[in-house]
Structure 1
Amino acid sequence: MRLDHDIENALISMVRDAARIEIMPRFRNLSAGAITAKSSSIDLVTVADVAAEEHVTRALQTILPGAVVIGEEAVSADPTILDQVADAEVAVIVDPIDGTWNYAHGLSTFGVILAVTVRGKTVFGLLYDPVNDDWVQASLGGGAWMASPGLDPRRLHVAPQRAFSEANGFVPHFMFAKDEQLAVVQGMAQAKRVTSLFCSCHEYRMMAQGHVDFVQTEGLNCWDHAAGVLAALEAGGHAQLSDGRDYAPELTQGHLTVATGQQLRDEVISELGLR
């Protein structure tokens, strides 16, 4: 199943509205009490996250009535919501502000991520940049596209595959277990350039646009990865866990590598010691 274009466009408009109304007016305008920590001092939530998710959840009742809404902040309050990802006829997965730490500290590298799944399969993904009002969208079998108001969408393709020693990528080394971090960092040094944006939305946008060669992740929150993996795959990339499984939104643990091709994916896993 693919969504029809009217529904895709309605979802994009909904996300743009949520950003315009709830996110951007609060950017660099948050009081101390508007920011709180969840699981750790770097895992933050702001009043903008909550307001944007509520905006999207309300709007979805009209755009996709009956869909299960799996929002990051709702799951934080009730983790059992995640149990519906695999089997829901239609689910909408939402990260109202991806890169909340950046947002809360006044950095403009943040975004809104939305994915639609049908019986556990991602059929639509959106990676929206509220600051620049542009987005990467992907539909299953329909390619990945860069779009912005007033311009024709541009089809995206990942970069040509190259060796790990010549590759640029993203690795959040601090998210790995302590006993894995040394091997990960030593492996990172063997690539051309490795960094982290602390924002899955922009990392996957860069991947789909052909600006980086791989994205290595630790932790599989579906709101961080479902849309981005679809965009990378539709742009011609490869996505697989270190144990050989294909990515699926219901997976919650594992090392996920998204790369320009299978050979580079294998090199990333080997160099970072994640086999």
Structure 2
Amino acid sequence: MIEHFPGIALSEVEAAIRDAAATEIMPRWRQLAAHEIVEKKGPHDLVTVADRGAEERLTEALGKLLPGSVVVGEEAVHADPAVYDALHGDAPVWIVDPVDGTRQFVHGDPGFCTLVALALRGEVLASWTYAPARDEMAVAVRGGGARINGAEIRSGALRPGAGLRVAMSHPDYTTPDQKRALLGLRTEGVAARPCGSAGLEYLAVARGELDAVAFSWELAWDHAAGLLLVTEAGGAHLTPAGVPFRITGENALPFTAARDAATAERVRALLSTHTP
């Protein structure tokens, strides 16, 4: 049951996501023509016909499931930035990233996913992370735990004194101040690497396969689903200010999400080492 919206079945949302992936995404995986790939802001910011088709399909389906709701999707916001303002309103909001990891999708790599989250007044109530090439569906409900393909997942606490495995924003795509903060992870005992699909990195944290992430951007469609997934699996997230990340924005950056509260604080402290 989803808090505030008990009439919405988790399975209905899952079915809509699977349908969008089966209809719009997977038939184009490793089948894209050059004209079906477009650069938005540069070679590392791509959109494809799969992204657009899946978002349109999800927007229609999710709107029918919850009349009066609005959809904040990555491609809709790219076309009209004012759409993002719905995150601050009183209507329930579906936050959608149709293909998270578009670069991987374009290159034929299976490391991409579809992200959907349901939020109300800035609070994420439920989330879905679907990796169609791997047939993995992770679902989280606020106060109801996290599951993948129906089986409960727990991130588990990091063993005291163990080294850290962290996926982080690539330094080339950060501000000078964020770059300095991320240098805190370049230290003994930390194995840091550039992140791939944000949604799949969050899933790895929730499963205990990765200890933490450190991200330098705020876009809600990249983080809303994963942050709830990590939290419901037993993890935590913190900004450099020592408070949880807010999907509505105005966060201190870079922030971290980790497999347990102690690890989140450990990464936060490392990020603060070089913060001006």
TM-score, normalization by structure 2: 0.91
Is residue 157 of structure 2 the alignment partner of residue 160 of structure 1? yes
Moved more, 163-172 or 119-128: 163-172
Q: Report the CA distance shift for 1:163/1:35 in structure 2 as closer, same or farther (over 3 A).
A: farther
Alignment equivalent of 1:69, drawn from 62, 68, 71? 71
Equivalent residue for 1:129? 131
Measured in 2, the distance between the counterparts of 1:274 and 1:237 equals 24
Conservation of the 8 A alpha-carbon contact between 1:238 and 1:265: yes
SS for the counterpart of 1:137 is strand
| Equivalent runs, 1:85-234 vs 2, <5 Å | 85-147=87-149, 153-162=150-159, 166-174=163-171, 175-181=173-179, 184-185=182-183, 187-234=185-232
Moved more, 62-71 or 94-103: 62-71
Measured in 1, the distance between the counterparts of 2:30 and 2:185 equals 36
Q: Report the CA distance shift for 1:226/1:274 in structure 2 as closer, same or farther (over 3 A).
A: farther
Conservation of the 8 A alpha-carbon contact between 2:154 and 2:206: yes
Q: Report the CA distance shift for 1:5/1:201 in structure 2 as closer, same or farther (over 3 A).
A: farther
Is residue 258 of structure 2 the alignment partner of residue 256 of structure 1? no
Measured in 2, the distance between the counterparts of 1:25 and 1:143 equals 32
SS for the counterpart of 1:159 is coil
RMSD across aligned positions (CA): 1.9
Moved more, 175-184 or 5-14: 175-184
Q: Report the CA distance shift for 1:155/1:5 in structure 2 as closer, same or farther (over 3 A).
A: farther
Aligned length, in residue pairs: 270
Conservation of the 8 A alpha-carbon contact between 1:124 and 1:139: yes
Measured in 2, the distance between the counterparts of 1:239 and 1:128 equals 21
Conservation of the 8 A alpha-carbon contact between 1:99 and 1:111: yes
Measured in 2, the distance between the counterparts of 1:104 and 1:129 equals 15
> Structure 2: where are the runs of 5+ without partners?
none
Structure 2 letter corresponding to 1:249? I
Conservation of the 8 A alpha-carbon contact between 1:86 and 1:249: no
Q: Report the CA distance shift for 1:179/1:142 in structure 2 as closer, same or farther (over 3 A).
A: closer
Structure 1 letter corresponding to 2:120? V
> Structure 1: where are the runs of 5+ without partners?
148-152
TM-score, normalization by structure 1: 0.91
